[in-house]
Structures are given as structure tokens and as C-alpha cells.
């Protein structure tokens, strides 16, 4: 069974440019998560979807970050405009959606903002 797929794996952009990350969760997983991971730190939740509904976006910086999961499967996370401090790894995870279901993570997208 395929795991969580993310693309691109690496992205280098100039500050003030837009960037988008794509995630395809494990088939059948209703819940999708986007996390931010800074170097040497644990992942921090940005947004959680249950199907196509964003049920927890309290940690998403909405002035520059946006996300969508239009058909309840794939998801896109966008930053516009990117800032130097946005350099990090952006992780996508998915789960079946029960309270203690295991969250399965993708490999992440490493973003470098110059």
C-alpha cells in the first residue's frame, strides 16, 4: 500500500515569491494534517481536515498561508508571499479519523526561502 505522497520534495524560492505544496493521503484516510517542522524541533500542526472540511486551522497564519482539500482527498498548502522565516519542512499526514488512530506521515517538502 502506498504511503502519504508529497511533492515537491525540495523547493528553493526567493522571498516574496509564492509556493505550493501538494499531498496525497493514504487511500481511505478521511483526516489529513499539515505540519510545520523547524530544524531540530518536533512537528507543529498547521491545519487538520476531516474530509473536505478544515476543522482545526487555529495555528495557520492566515495572512499568508492557505490550504484546500476540495474533493476530500488531495490537499494543497500555499504560502504567498513567502518570508525567510518560512524555511522549514512541511509535513503532511493522514489517518482514518478516529481519536487515537495512527497518523502516517509523508516524507515532507523542505522549503528554503532565500
Partner 1 sequence: GESVGLHLPTLSVQEGDNSIINCAYSNSASDYFIWYKQESGKGPQFIIDIRSNMDKRQGQRVTVLLNKTVKHLSLQIAATQPGDSAVYFCAENRGEREKLTFGTGTRLTIIP
The footprint of partner 1 (CB under 8 A) covers 4, 31, 40-45, 48, 56, 91, 93, 95, 97, 99-108
Nearer to partner 1 by Cβ, of 19 and 32: the residue is 32
Nearer to partner 1 by Cβ, of 2 and 14: the residue is 2
Other Cβ atoms less than 10 A from the Cβ of 113: the count is 20
Minimum gap (Å) between residue 103 Cβ and partner 1: 7
Minimum gap (Å) between residue 41 Cβ and partner 1: 6
Minimum gap (Å) between residue 71 Cβ and partner 1: 21
Q: Where are the beta strands (DSSP E) in the chain?
A: 5-7, 10-13, 19-24, 31-37, 44-50, 53-56, 65-68, 75-79, 88-95, 104-105, 109-113
Nearer to partner 1 by Cβ, of 43 and 67: the residue is 43
Q: Given the DSSP bridges, would you call strands 104-105 and 88-95 parallel, antiparallel or unpaired?
A: antiparallel
Amino acid at each position: 500500500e502506498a504511503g502519504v505522497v508529497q511533492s515537491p520534495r525540495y523547493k528553493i524560492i526567493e522571498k516574496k515569491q509564492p509556493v505550493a505544496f501538494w499531498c496525497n493521503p493514504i487511500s481511505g484516510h478521511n483526516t489529513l494534517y499539515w505540519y510545520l517542522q523547524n530544524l531540530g524541533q518536533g512537528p507543529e500542526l498547521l491545519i487538520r481536515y476531516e474530509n473536505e472540511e478544515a476543522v482545526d486551522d487555529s495555528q495557520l497564519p492566515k495572512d499568508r498561508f492557505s490550504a484546500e482539500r476540495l474533493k476530500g482527498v488531495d490537499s494543497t498548502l500555499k504560502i504567498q508571499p513567502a518570508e525567510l522565516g518560512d524555511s522549514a519542512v512541511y509535513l503532511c499526514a493522514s489517518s482514518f479519523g478516529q481519536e487515537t488512530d495512527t497518523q502516517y506521515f509523508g516524507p515532507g517538502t523542505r522549503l528554503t526561502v532565500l
